[in-house]
């Protein structure tokens, strides 16, 4: 059974920029973005939140209430670049890591998905692995919420909307775990989630007993697809970032080889071919 770990970074953008001088970390700080009507707050740090500032409000109104508010523009491109670097750091937990494609950059949040199938024993189990990841993020001054489940949809939903910062769901318990979560946890469009809530269908548990055909007719195929993906009844594409390999060698074979002696001989030859490049760059390898 495949196992996935999702980590949600609710304050990714502002925590990334808060580490960059000359910002004073002890004063209110916000990221801003241009929207209809002028500059709006996109994300706020704890000091700004404690003074009553919230994302989405006009910058002019915020400055009127908190004159000493420090601001910087939201930087989605730099956030994505930094997220790719964080994904590389996460390869210590699994070689298969992918940033969330649907991360809400306007809100300054983001996340990562890891395929940890057969990896957790290297850390003493899933609990220890999850703790190590969240602790590592904390040491880097990043807030992280993580969840592990046998489907990407469930791990994603629980990491982002679960009541605890670290959640592990055993095989066969997904339905019980995601039942109390809001319908927006299914990664559906905001408009669809708003309509469902207006109809009184506020949680995933409200959707589970309903016949699927009327839901598809009213909301399209995506809603049922997301529900099946979360429950582990349908597969979901997962495209991890390919690690950068600075030194490589290859051989084109006329036919496959399967004899161990031949494989070792070819591997040795390829390794020898890399020696001049490694020596040129002053690198060592084993």
- My answer on whether 82 and 204 are in the same domain is yes
Is 237 among the domain residues?
no
- My answer on whether 274 and 207 are in the same domain is no
* Total domains, the chain: 3
The whole-number pLDDT of residue 22 equals: 79
- My answer on whether 40 and 82 are in the same domain is no
Q: How many residues does the chain have?
A: 286
User: Running DSSP on this structure, what letter comes out for residue 184?
Assistant: G
Place of tokens 């692995």: 129
- My answer on whether 201 and 148 are in the same domain is yes
- What lies within 8 Å, CB to CB, of 243 at 6+ separation is 88, 91, 95
Is 240 among the domain residues?
no
CATH number at residue 163: 3.30.70.270
- My answer on whether 133 and 211 are in the same domain is yes
Is 136 among the domain residues?
yes
- My answer on whether 256 and 183 are in the same domain is no
- My answer on whether 97 and 181 are in the same domain is yes
- My answer on whether 68 and 84 are in the same domain is no
Which string of DSSP letters, residue by residue, matches 206-273?
HHTTS-HHHHHHHH-HHHHHHHHHHHTSS-----PPPPP-SS------SS----HHHHHHHHHHHHHH
Is 236 among the domain residues?
no
- My answer on whether 103 and 200 are in the same domain is yes
- My answer on whether 195 and 154 are in the same domain is yes
Which string of DSSP letters, residue by residue, matches 138-180?
HHTT---EEEEESSHHHHHHHHHH-SSSEEE--TT-HHHHHTT
How far apart, in whole angstroms, are the C-alpha atoms of residue 161 and residue 179? 12
- My answer on whether 227 and 268 are in the same domain is no
Cα dihedral 98, 102, 174, 129 in deg (nearest 10) = 30
**In whole angstroms, how large is the CA radius of gyration of the chain?**
23
Of 29, 45, 73, the one marking the end of a domain is 73
Q: Supply the angle between the helices 190-198 and 212-219 in degrees, to the nearest 10.
A: 120
Place of tokens 């791990």: 155
> What domain range is 166 assigned to?
4-11+77-231
- What lies within 8 Å, CB to CB, of 276 at 6+ separation is none
CATH number at residue 43: 3.40.1170.60
Per-residue pLDDT 10s for the chain (286 aa) are 899 999 999 999 999 998 888 788 789 999 999 999 999 999 999 999 999 999 999 999 999 999 999 999 999 999 999 999 999 999 999 999 999 986 666 678 999 999 999 999 999 999 999 999 999 999 999 999 999 999 999 999 999 999 999 999 999 999 999 999 999 999 999 999 999 999 999 999 999 999 999 999 999 999 999 999 999 999 999 999 977 678 889 999 989 999 999 999 999 999 999 999 999 988 888 7
The token pair at 248 is 């490589």
**Cα angle: 9, vertex 63, 65; to 5 degrees:** 100
Q: Do residues 46 and 32 touch, judged by C-beta distance below 8 A?
A: no
Of 54, 73, 92, the one marking the end of a domain is 73
SS3 67: coil
Q: Do residues 222 and 193 touch, judged by C-beta distance below 8 A?
A: no
Burial class (CB in 10 A: 0-12, 13-18, 19+), 190: exposed
The whole-number pLDDT of residue 283 equals: 84
The whole-number pLDDT of residue 104 equals: 65
- My answer on whether 85 and 150 are in the same domain is yes
């Amino acid at each position: 059974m495949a196992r996935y770990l999702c980590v949600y970074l609710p304050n990714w953008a502002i925590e990334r920029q808060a580490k960059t001088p000359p910002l004073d970390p002890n004063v209110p700080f916000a990221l801003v973005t241009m929207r209809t009507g002028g500059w709006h707050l996109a994300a706020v740090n704890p000091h700004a939140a404690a003074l009553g500032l919230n994302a989405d409000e006009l910058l002019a109104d915020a400055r009127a209430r908190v004159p000493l508010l420090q601001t910087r523009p939201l930087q989605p491109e730099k956030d994505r670049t930094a997220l790719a670097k964080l994904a590389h750091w996460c390869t210590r937990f699994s070689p298969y890591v992918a940033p969330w494609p649907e991360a809400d950059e306007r809100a300054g949040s983001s996340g990562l998905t890891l395929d940890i199938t057969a990896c957790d024993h290297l850390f003493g189990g899933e609990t220890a692995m999850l703790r190590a990841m969240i602790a590592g993020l904390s040491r880097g001054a990043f807030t992280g919420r993580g969840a592990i489940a046998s489907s990407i949809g469930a791990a994603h939903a629980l990491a982002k909307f679960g009541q605890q910062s670290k959640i592990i769901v055993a095989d066969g318990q997904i339905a019980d775990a995601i039942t109390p979560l809001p319908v927006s946890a299914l990664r559906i469009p905001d408009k669809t989630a708003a309509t469902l809530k207006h109809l009184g269908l506020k949680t995933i548990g409200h959707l589970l007993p309903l016949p699927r055909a009327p839901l598809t007719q009213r909301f399209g195929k995506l809603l049922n697809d997301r529900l099946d993906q979360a429950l582990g009844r349908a597969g979901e594409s997962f495209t991890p970032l390919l690690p950068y390999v600075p030194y490589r060698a290859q051989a084109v074979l006329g036919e496959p080889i399967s004899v161990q002696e031949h494989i070792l001989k070819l591997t040795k030859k390829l390794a020898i071919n890399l020696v001049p490049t490694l020596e040129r760059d002053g690198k060592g390898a084993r």
